Amino acid sequence: MSSSIPSLCRECGTHFNATLEDQRCNACASPRLISHPELDSLSIAHIDCDAFFASVEKRDNQELKNKPVIVGGGKRGVVAACCYIARIKGVHSAMPMYRALKACPDAVVVKPSRGKYSEVGRQIKGIMRDTTPLVESLSIDEAFLDLSGTEKLHGGSPAATLVKLIKRIEDEIGVTASVGLSYNKFLAKTASDLDKPRGFVVIGEAEVLDFLGPRPVGSIWGVGKSLRSKLERDGLRTISQLREMVEDELIKRYGVIGKRLSRLSHGIDSRIVEPGSKAKSISTETTFSDDIQDLETLLHRLWPLCEKVTKQLKTKNLAARTITMKLKTSGFRSLTRSRTLSQPTQLAEVIYQEAKILLVPEVNGTPYRLIGIGTSQFADPEFADQADFLDDSIDTFAKVEGAMESVREKFGDPAILKGRTLLNN
């Protein structure tokens, strides 16, 4: 006699115990079943909308429904987002527009409408918070949810509640989303990427080592290209190979990130879902007593601001993806320029180097009365500064700033300064 396992129908929400032979819901005959031995005991979820920008555009223009859609700029721009039809033809986010149109010449290109996407994102987050107060927003269209203790409130397991939640998003908002359900954030986010669009993937504790083992090290959330290359050069290509290394050896080889790699390779992630509104930006600026128009002096004034912003990031336990530089001319005209990093940072040197790239083109003889630096698009600092900036330079930056912080903790901020700061005095 076949054993049965907990199952849910994604169409009608019926919960029943299914056997291996059961391919359809016993209530509505839908084939969209979720079956897993731990289905009723897991409560940490990651929800990610499917091709969000493109899905909103298709929702608002039914003529686009069955067409490849690219959201982006002109021929010299890049792809901000694309639908799954376009993805099948080789288009992906951040691809230059000319290459995207070459891969998919029949695509419909739609100019981004950030305000509209933000409003839809707020509506989706509102539905999530109706379900549980423990919602941790990651971006405009994705979030972690902790549904622990919601069984009585919603009359069913967290998995059953998630089925209702996703259906409500589809019915009320008109876009689809994919769900990852597990016992921690790392595995929930991993699961949500496995079966898009409209996916619902469950990863339980009993299977985690077997599930993670054959996966490439680059599939670990937060492992960038540089770190992945370094791990692969060292013969660590799969998570199972990573798991065979003792934690102390990984820390010795790769620094602080080694500890996280060891724990995630075993499916261990102790981070909790943290709701609440964190700061949207952290910035600081300085007004000059006399206008400045030469690059060297502006850079001297820029560095202390980068250190100040970094200190605030670390105090608030944040890392930033977007760096914004602000200038104000002698005629009080404001100018801002931004860059978004491939990974978040907490390092003053990284912020300074990125701001320098933004500043140089603006030094053209114009006298400036103010310079400022800002950071935004925050992320978990655990995933910051992972040797993806200027190859291995990131390790040097981190060690230098760590040493400076140690000295300052003992003797005060003026005890140790970089040369570019001294030139500013």
Strand pairing class (142-146; 368-379): unpaired
Active site residue 142: yes
Q: Which residue among the candidates 38, 57, 136, 142 is catalytic per the annotation?
A: 142
- Residue 185's alpha-carbon distances to 99, 117, 204, 269, 345, in angstroms, are 35, 25, 12, 7, 21
d(CA 404, CA 399): 9
Kind and range of the H or E element at 287? strand 281-292
Kind and range of the H or E element at 182? strand 177-182
Buried b (16+ CB within 10 A) or exposed e, 329-355: beeeeeeeeeeebebbbbbbbbbbbbb
Q: What is the token pair recorded at 180?
A: 């990852």
- Residue among 140, 138, 125 nearest 52 (CA): 140
d(CA 360, CA 279): 29
In this structure, are residues 368 and 291 in contact, taking their beta carbons and an 8 Å threshold? yes
Other Cβ atoms within 10 Å of 263 Cβ, number? 15
- Only one residue has tokens 């990125």, namely 354
238's CB contacts (< 8 A; 6+ apart) are 213, 214, 215, 216, 217
- The 3-state DSSP class for residue 290 equals strand
Long-range contacts of 237-246 (CB under 8 A, 24+ apart): 238/213, 238/214, 239/212, 239/213, 239/214, 239/215, 239/265, 240/212, 240/213, 240/214, 240/265, 241/217, 242/217, 243/209, 243/212, 243/213
In degrees and rounded to multiples of 5, residue 71 shows phi and psi of -100, 120
Q: How many CA atoms lie within 13 A of 171 on its CB side?
A: 8
Residue 245 C-alpha from the chain's centroid:
27
Residues annotated catalytic, as ranges: 142
